[in-house]
Structure formats: structure tokens, C-alpha cells
Structure 1
Amino acid sequence: RMNIERSECCALMLISTAGMMIMVQAYDLIVLFLALELFSIPLYVMSGLVRGKISSEEAALKYFLLGAFSSAFLLYGVAFLYGATMHTNLAGIVSAIQGGAVQTVFLMLGVALLLVGLAFKLAVVPFHSWAPDVYQGAPTPVTGWMSVSVKIAALAALLRVFVIAFPSVAAQISPVLGVLAALTMIVGNVLALVQTDIKRLLAYSSIASAGYLLMAFVPYGQGEVASDSIAAGLFYMIGYLFASFAAWAVVAAVEKEDGKGLQIADYAGLARRHPWLAVAMMIAMVSYIGVPPTLGFWGKFYLFRTALEGGLVWLALIGLLTSLFSAYYYLRVVVVMFMQPGETEARREVWVNLLAVVSAGATLLLAFIPWQLLDLASTAFLRFP
């Protein structure tokens, strides 16, 4: 499809997955950096796999250049942290900070640069500029994979490194995280309002979701809230994963061989011709908004609860208001599918349709056991080998 070699894409995806698995288990900053590169380089290549399509080649180039730039920030951060603590291992950094034998200026510079490198992967404002163009230009299956895998890896690395190694600087970092979260929620949702291309709409939706994830992370330094912060972020990520797979599977099914069919108007009449795909997309959209009974509702509920427990009432209010704004552009897709006349055709590929239906079903069914998932998220993260 669209001149993509599936064998190449699968091989690159496996390499990227291996890097992601190493990244989320890394307890050394050098290993974290190497895993980040192993994870990212295949994504740069996959973004440009549509041969002869200028937008795909442009996406790959933009992603590579900005990705290399962000990696430099992360590596400089590791260098400053080594200069401050004489360690790159997380346990060694913790020991050095607790012992007081650190260069405070180097420590804060290292933490800030490390945050910039990981914020780029999460597409946090103002490090988000790559996401809309890359999501639009990359092959749709690659974009769907990227929208989920990159956030999972970056979030896990961010939580692990900061919660384990840097709780002592939370008082200085938390206000910055709060501002970044607020800006990301506002910018992502406001710019999504004016999008007419479904891939760009989902790209800005992904940026907004990064803001919600970051909102849970803001009070990570408050001991009594830290565990809830981690659990809420991971829980929201589970809901985002299933909703995203459902949405991107529908996009892949509706997209034409020549790359057309990506305008929101192209979804007119989808409910009449392909009701299961339309229902799957509707479930994904309402889960993104946070409407019950979906995982997205519980995900945002736990995020807002964590923010309130951390005393961040202003941030929870921004999250609530931006969620209300998001209802406009998400429900616009639903209205076009169910209420506007059209003859939208979709691919009758079993695996694509099955992914959409199964992911949408999981978004609904798992919402009936939220406490079990939250307990699983609470116990699955901070485990030393």
C-alpha cells in the first residue's frame, strides 16, 4: 500500500520496540540515551517510507533534524549531571544528592536539559512543532504506531528518572512542569479546532494528551501524592493507547491508495456504508473527550484527582476547560460520519478492521474495571531489578 515495503516497516518497528523496552527499563542515563537513539532512528526512517511522496520525505527530514537536536539537549544534560554527581547511574545520582556532594548549578542545568530532551519526544509545547507535519506526512500505520509508542516510552522514562533520581529538586521543577502542561493543553486543543485534515487533527489531539499526561506528573515530588501521580499517568496512557489504535485503524481503512480521503469531510456517510468502523471511531472520539463509559473518562478523572491532591486547582481547571473545548472538534468527526450524507468507502482488510473494533471494544469494556487497572498501574512501575 502506497509503495510501502511491509517487510522493511516490520523490521524497523521491531528495532524501535526493542529500543523502547530498553528505554523504559534503563537505570543508567547513558543506557537511556542509547535506547532513545535505538528507538528513534527507525522512526525517522519509517516516516519517509512512502517513496515518491514529498510530504513523507519532508516528514522524515524534519523528524530527523529536530530529533537529533533534542538528543543533543539530552546528552548535554547527562554530561552536566555527571559533572555534578560523578555518576550516570540513577542509584549513584541519588546517593550523591543525598550526601550533599553535588554542584548545584550543574545539577539544575542537567535536569533542565534532560527534561527538554524527553519533552520533545512527548511533543510538549514548545517542543511540539514536529508532530503535526510528521504525523501528516508519515504513512498512516506508522503514524498510528508512533502516536502511541513514543509517548509510552517517553512517559515511562520521564517518570522513572525524575521520580527516582530527582525528587529533591521537585520544588524548582514542578512550577515549570505546571506551566508546560497548561500551555500544551491549551495550544493542542485550540489549534485542533481549526484542522480539516484528520491526521493533523489527531496530531494536535496527541499534543493535548501530552499536556494531560504532564499534569499528573507535576506533583511527583510530594511524597503522599507521588504514587497516585504515577498510577494516574500510566492509567491515562492505557486509555489513550486503545483509543488511538481504534482511531488510526479507521483512518488507515478510509485512506485511499493515492493518499486521499484524509479530510474530515471525506468521512461523510461512513456510518451507513461501514457502521462498525464509524462506531469504533465514535468510541475513540468520546474517549478522548473523557465521556463515560470509556477509559478516557476514568483516565481524566484520575488525572484531575491527582492534580487536586497536589494542590493544583488552577491546572485541573485548565484541564477541564480544554477538555470541554476538545468536544467541538472530536464530535465534529462524529457528526460528519453519522449525520452528513456521503458514500465513503473503506478498505475491507480484516486485520485493520479487527484492530479498530477490538481497540474500541477494549476502550469500553475495560472502563468497567477501573480500580483493577489503577491498582495494576500503581504496582507495575517502580520495581528495581
Structure 2
Amino acid sequence: MNTTPQILRILPEVILTLVGVIIMLVEPLIAKSSSRKPLGWFSVLGVIAALAGSLYQYQLPSGTAYFGTVQTDPFSIFFHVLIAGIVLASLLIALDSAPDSTPFLGEYFALVCFGAVGMMLMSSAVELLLVFIGLEISSISTYILAGFRRKSAKAPESSIKYFLLGSFATAFFLYGIALVFGATGTTDISGIAQALGSSTTPMLALIGVSMMLIGLGFKVSAAPFQVWTPDVYEGAASPVVALMSTGPKVAAFAVLLRVLYGAVPALHLHWVPLLWLLAALSMTVGNLGALRQKNVKRMLAYSSIAHAGYLLVAFTALSADGIAAASFYAVSYAAMNVGVFAVVSHAGGYDDRLTLIEDYKGLAYRSPLLGGAMGFFLISLIGIPFTGGFFGKFYVFSAAIHSGFVWLAVIGLINSGIAAYYYLRVLAAIYSKPAESSPVMAVPAATLPLLLALLITVASTLILGIAPGRILAQAKAAAATYPVINPDADSAAVAGR
């Protein structure tokens, strides 16, 4: 009999909820002329406590709670730790770049904490309705955060676009849940797998899974559901983009893994070709779109679309190595992408004074710290050895090749070569001396929050590149949560190998 108190199964979510509520209660009591930065440091402490709570959950036996709606296992704990790390670094970036006079800064920190609660619920939920609730908690927070910089004309526009398209995608996801329920009689992930595995597959279930893929495809900005990404990234404040480009995506990928490998493994002959197509489209559309960008944030937006495609490659592998590769890639991408936005946020400021690639000319001479860090993250995004990006792509493409998807791996390698061009273009600008006649924007001195954020992201990217064994072992333990799918004899033809 499982005697573990149920609240320990959602310990990180409880901690972050309490932190968010306390911030909302305390903020009105602070004088308007006083800084809200102490609330930011309080939220940082709260996230560290949630991270400690997630690590504590490794001591708990795997099991469910609250009528089987949430599950604590190596899979959920792995993503809890990752999300807590992303949120911690994003809060430090906001503390670095947001001026003390920023209106409603206390609400900003509370919204980040509430958004993290939704992301963590998404990764631990084993009931589709709770997944939807977690998705909504995360989405509503990020909709508001996208338009938080109200004095900018682009911020409200990006928030409205994100909200409208996000609501449309959420409707697809919810209607897909309804159709799956109609086909199986349950919204429990294990119950769905049992119902579909013991009977012929109804068309209703196939349509439902397809609609859920559309909804999650929007959240991870996979092509052809990526149209919102460049505008939202450009309009939102850089600290918000640091969180938005990683946290919700990681949570959505966790849901996608649970749904595909936990709920509908019996339908792999149908969803593998769809993921193959989404992966190829995302890599190609993202990288070709980034080639034409002169705005750094729009370039990084298209880059994130391409990286969503790289990660989807691992989903097609139908093996434990594929799940582990996807989990490892999520960690490496989060570290280097948050690190890039830490530099962009500090160099350009909260109001994004540096928007174009040419604005970063000579950054390494004006600030060797920022220039060196930015260069390191860019070579990791390319996939150069001794960085997390290299091993992330290596494991993803290896899993695809071992599963027979050689052409998908070839498409990925070609796209990696294309990506090297626009990343190196930024790197060349950073280490080129600006013309003496051109104005030079001064770079603010590094602050403690920036140094801590860079320490977390640089150290993570470096460790993943030179000693990936421990993180990969945790990723494999997370992958062991779900059994390996054994494809039918004709799966190769159906999947287009």
C-alpha cells in the first residue's frame, strides 16, 4: 500500500503557488515609489525551493495521487527539474534588465510563478483534462507576459496575436480530448492505451489524436503552426521570450511524449508519418526563414522553429533511445537558448535598444563577457563539439538512424549546415570592429543577477558538452517510464523510411 502523502506528489507546484499568492498579497502593501525587485528575489528563492522539492521527489516511489490524475515518476521529475531551472534563469534575467520603475513588476514575478505551476502540472498529469488545465494556466500567464511591456507598440500586438492563435490551438487540443473520450470512454492516459490496444482503432480516435497534435504543434511552434512565433518574440520583452521560448515548449514536449508513448502507442503507424513530416517542415521552414532575418529576435524565433523540428526527429524513433534523446535535447536547447536571451536582454536593455544584427558589431570589444558568452551559445546552437548542442543533435540523429529514418537524419544534417550560416553571421558581427564613424551603444555593467544567469546557462551548456553522461542517464531513466513500441512488419513502408 502506498503511504506517501499525496501533497508530496505535487510539492513543487504547491511551493510555487504559495510564492505567487504571497507576492500578489504583499505587492499592494509596498509604496509606489519603492522598488519591487525584492519580490523578484523572493520568487527566485521560491523557485530554488521548488527545485529542491523536485529533487526530493526522486526519493519517493513512483505512484499517482489525487484519484490518479498526477503521477510522480522519473519522467515527471526530470521535466520538473528542467522547468525549475528555466524559470530560475528567466527570473534572474528579468531582475537584471527590468528597471525599478517598471509598472506592475510584482505581478510579473507572480505570473512567472503561476506559469511555472501550469508547466509542471503538464509534465506530471496523466489525465488529459488535467493536462488541459495545466496548459491553460501556463498559456494565460504567458499571454499576459507577452504584452507586459505596455509602453511598446509591438508588445500589445504580440500579446493579442499570441492570445488569439493560442486560443484557437487550445480549442483543437480540447476538441481532440473530447473525440478521444468518445472513442475510448476515458481521458486517463493508461486507460486510453488499454482501450485502443484491445480493439480495432476507431476513426474517431485517429481524428482526436490528430487534433491534439495540432494544438501541441502550436505550443512548440512546429511548422506549419509557427506563424505566431516571429511577431511574438519580436514584440515581447527579452526576459519574457527567454521563458516563453523554452518553458512552455518543454512542458508541451513532455505532454506529447506522454500522449504518444503512454496513451496512443497502438496508433504509431498513423502518428509517426505525421511527426516525420512536421519534423522535416519545421527544420526546413525555420532555418530558411532565419536566413533572411536582420532582426536578432526574429532570427532566434525562426531558429526555435528549427530546433523544434530537431527535437521532433527523436519522437519518430519509437525507442527508449528516442525518448531519452528528446529529453536530453530539451535540456541542452533550454540552456543555450536562455543564455542567448540573457545576453540580448542585458545588451539591449528592457526596451530592446539593440534589435538588428549589425547593432551587435564589436560587442566582444565593448564587453568581453557578453561577447564571449554569446559566441559560446551560438556555436552550441550550431552543434560544435564540446557543447551541449553537439551531443543533443548527435543523440537525436543517432536515434533516428538506428530506427531506420536515415533520410530524416540527412534532412536534419543539411539544415544544421544551413543554420551555421546565420549563427556565424551573428558571431562575425560580435567579433568585428565597428566603423569609427558609426555610433557605438554603451553596454551596461554586468549585475549580480546577470552573472548568476550566465553561470547557470554557460555551466549547463559546457557540462552537457564535455560530461553528458549523468544527464543522459537521467533521461534514460525517464524514458524507461514507458515501454518500447514494437513496430509492425509493415511500419517501415507506412512511415516512409
* 1:99 equivalent in alignment to 2:192: no
Tell me by how many angstroms 1:358 deviates: 3.6
Select the residue among 424, 434, 438 that pairs with 1:341.
434
Aligned position for 2:491: none
Aligned position for 2:150: 51
Aligned position for 2:309: 211
Q: Percent identity?
A: 42
Paired residues of 2:324 and 2:472 also in contact (CA < 8 A) = yes
Aligned position for 2:94: none
Aligned position for 1:272: 365
Aligned position for 1:306: 399
Tell me by how many angstroms 1:65 deviates: 0.3
Aligned position for 1:380: 478
User: What is the alpha-carbon distance in structure 1 between the residues aligned to residue 449 and residue 324 of structure 2?
Assistant: 31
Change (3 A) 1:344 1:382: farther
Paired residues of 1:246 and 1:357 also in contact (CA < 8 A) = no
* 1:124 equivalent in alignment to 2:217: no
Aligned position for 2:383: 290
The aligned runs of 1:167-206 (5 Å cut-off) are 167-206=265-304
Over residues 252-301 of structure 1, what are the superposed CA-to-partner deviations in whole Å (9 max), with x where a residue is unaligned? 01114543211111111111111011111111111111001101000000
Tell me by how many angstroms 1:213 deviates: 0.5
Tell me by how many angstroms 1:347 deviates: 2.6
User: What is the alpha-carbon distance in structure 1 between the residues aligned to residue 456 and residue 180 of structure 2?
Assistant: 44
Paired residues of 1:74 and 1:118 also in contact (CA < 8 A) = yes
Over residues 73-130 of structure 1, what are the superposed CA-to-partner deviations in whole Å (9 max), with x where a residue is unaligned? 0011001001100000011111211221x66110101110111111110000010001
User: What is the alpha-carbon distance in structure 2 between the residues aligned to residue 337 and residue 178 of structure 1?
Assistant: 36
Aligned position for 2:241: 143
Tell me by how many angstroms 1:362 deviates: 2.4
Long gaps (5+) in structure 1: 221-225
Tell me by how many angstroms 1:383 deviates: 4.2
Per mean C-alpha deviation after superposition, the further-off stretch among 320-329 and 47-56 is 47-56
Tell me by how many angstroms 1:52 deviates: 2.5
TM-score (norm 2): 0.74
**Could you tell me which amino acid in structure 2 is paired with residue 69 of structure 1?**
F
Q: Whose radius of gyration is greater, 1 or 2? A: 2
* 1:332 equivalent in alignment to 2:425: yes
* 1:69 equivalent in alignment to 2:195: no
User: What is the alpha-carbon distance in structure 2 between the residues aligned to residue 319 and residue 13 of structure 1?
Assistant: 33
Paired residues of 1:267 and 1:337 also in contact (CA < 8 A) = yes
Aligned position for 1:160: 258
Aligned position for 2:24: none
Q: In structure 2, the residue corresponding to 1:339 is in which secondary structure?
A: coil
What is the RMSD computed on CA atoms of the aligned residues? 1.5
Paired residues of 1:277 and 1:353 also in contact (CA < 8 A) = no
Long gaps (5+) in structure 2: 1-97, 483-497
TM-score (norm 1): 0.95
Paired residues of 2:122 and 2:134 also in contact (CA < 8 A) = yes
Tell me by how many angstroms 1:353 deviates: 3.7
Q: Which is helix-richer, 1 or 2?
A: 1
User: What is the alpha-carbon distance in structure 2 between the residues aligned to residue 151 and residue 315 of structure 1?
Assistant: 22
Paired residues of 1:269 and 1:344 also in contact (CA < 8 A) = no
Tell me by how many angstroms 1:53 deviates: 1.6
**Could you tell me which amino acid in structure 2 is paired with residue 239 of structure 1?**
S
User: What is the alpha-carbon distance in structure 2 between the residues aligned to residue 293 and residue 4 of structure 1?
Assistant: 42
Aligned position for 1:244: 337
User: What is the alpha-carbon distance in structure 1 between the residues aligned to residue 217 and residue 103 of structure 2?
Assistant: 30
Tell me by how many angstroms 1:218 deviates: 1.3
Paired residues of 2:336 and 2:381 also in contact (CA < 8 A) = yes
User: What is the alpha-carbon distance in structure 2 between the residues aligned to residue 258 and residue 71 of structure 1?
Assistant: 30
* 1:254 equivalent in alignment to 2:347: yes
Aligned pair count reads 378
* 1:319 equivalent in alignment to 2:412: yes
Select the residue among 117, 130, 134 that pairs with 1:35.
134
